[in-house]
Amino acid sequence: MNTELYMMTGDALADHAALVRAAEYLRAGELVAFPTETVYGLGASAYSEDAAQKVYAAKGRPSDNPLIVHISDAAEAESLAYTTPTYYQLAKHFMPGPLTIILPKKKIIPDSVTGGLDSVAIRCPVHPVANALIRICGIPIAAPSANRSGRPSPTTAQHVWKDMNGRIPMIVDGGSCSIGVESTVIRLTDAGCEILRPGAVTEQMLAAVVGTASVSPAVIHPSLAGDKPLSPGMKYKHYAPAAEVVLVDGEADAFVRYVREHILPTEAVAAADTEQALFDGCHVLSLGKNDSAEEEAKYLFALLRQVDDLGYTRVYLRLPPTEGEYLAVYNRLIRAAGGKIVHAD
Ligand code: TXA
Ligand code: MG
């Protein structure tokens, strides 16, 4: 299959024509990759059993791992799922935005979209291209991240191209994703909500709206997910480059000492640009401009891909804290490292 790559130009007419074309593919049951504020999505009609099967095939994804259904306005969930007052309370604050809410599904969503579950994950992206595409399409779009299964999620159209060229008819290039890690996935509980996958909408932000927000223990300890986790994605090894990811727990200076003692010429260390001088003589890969959760989240997946593209056998990263948006980075890293942490002192 020939894959068309369309770059958004800012020319309203040309961009609109491209999205109309993308929407035609989607309505015909074909797949289109598109940008969102979190990561690129691999879109398919959320009403089509066949299109969902194509998603699993293109990604090489196990078909029991359900897809998120994307809408352009929170109220569109009404025809897809059984909503609650808490859903609308959260939607008022975080939709559109990087939050995915799991609700009991209605029959219109085929079982293949939800991996056989009786619930459906609903998300309303704030990215203007994603939002316009869903509106033009006129139907909800089921979309997992647009990577081959097990690879880091794509945060640029080039990442998507690398994984999906020849497998899908069209990729819409809207530049780099501003957040860089996937949306926060929550389920609603009697007390409020529970985070199944951490993202840019944090526990504190959710608690401020619904009173009680908890974090599923498997977010911090992936081995606790077991065989039948609340969110099937929890049980799959994810985000892993071919190189070994070495997560080092320790103070900043202990991390620097540990890396300088252990690093080999075929290996690299990840650091913010402001910290690079501490590792002179080492191969340093950029984890953003400065040492912050937002920058780490934004550049983490690109960095994991870079490690393999440049042929390093191992990459050293400092274990982030579990507070705020750092929790999302912590969760992706600990899974990329297969749960292993080394200690530096
Ligand atoms: O930011 C995002 O959420 C991106 C962009 C494209 O929107 N999408 C994304 O989709 O990350 P995906 O398929 O890579 O991850 C979806 C996660 C998986 O961990 C899956 O198990 C979980 O959401 N999930 C989906 N539907 C679910 C359901 N009904 N119950 C529990 N977990 C669900
Ligand atoms: Mg994914």
> From the DSSP assignment, how many helices (H) and strands (E) are in the chain?
9, 16
pLDDT of amino acid 322: 96
User: What pLDDT score does 134 carry?
Assistant: 98
Ligand that lies nearest to the alpha carbon of residue 239, given by its number in the listed order = 2
Is 49 within 8 Å of 112 (Cβ atoms)? yes
Give pLDDT, residue 175. Answer: 98
Residues facing residue 246 across a β-bridge: 316
Q: Residues 302, 237: contact at Cβ < 8 Å?
A: no
| pLDDT reported for residue 236 | 59
Residue 126 Cβ inside 6 Å of ligand 1? The answer reads no
pLDDT at 237 (0 to 100): 61
Cα(8) to ligand 1 centroid in Å equals: 26
Q: How far is the CA of 142 from the centre of ligand 1 (A)?
A: 10
Between the CA of 100 and the centroid of ligand 1 the distance, in Å, is 8
Atom of ligand 1 nearest to the CA of 185: 23
Type of residue numbered 266: T
Residue 255 CA to ligand 1 center (angstroms) comes to 33
Q: Which residue's entry shows tokens 């953003």?
A: 288
Q: What separation in Å is there between the alpha carbon of 13 and the centre of ligand 1?
A: 32
Q: Which ligand is nearest to the CA of 67?
A: 1
Measured from the Cα of 98, ligand 1's closest atom is 1
- Is 125 buried (19+), middle (13-18) or exposed (0-12) by CB count in 10 A? buried
pLDDT in tens, the chain (345 residues): 999 999 999 999 999 999 999 999 999 999 999 999 999 999 999 999 999 999 999 999 888 889 999 999 999 999 999 999 999 999 999 999 999 999 999 999 999 999 999 999 999 999 999 999 999 999 999 999 999 998 999 999 999 999 999 999 999 999 999 999 999 999 999 999 999 999 999 999 999 999 999 999 999 987 787 777 777 777 656 677 889 999 999 999 999 999 999 999 999 999 999 999 999 999 999 999 999 999 999 999 999 999 999 999 999 999 999 999 999 999 999 999 988 899 998
Q: State which of 148, 153, 179, 185 you would mutate to test the pocket of ligand 1, scoring each by most atoms of that ligand within 8 A of its C-beta.
A: 185
CA of 289 to the centre of ligand 1 (A): 29
Ligand nearest to the CA of 99: 1
Nearest residue by C-alpha to atom 31 in ligand 1: 231
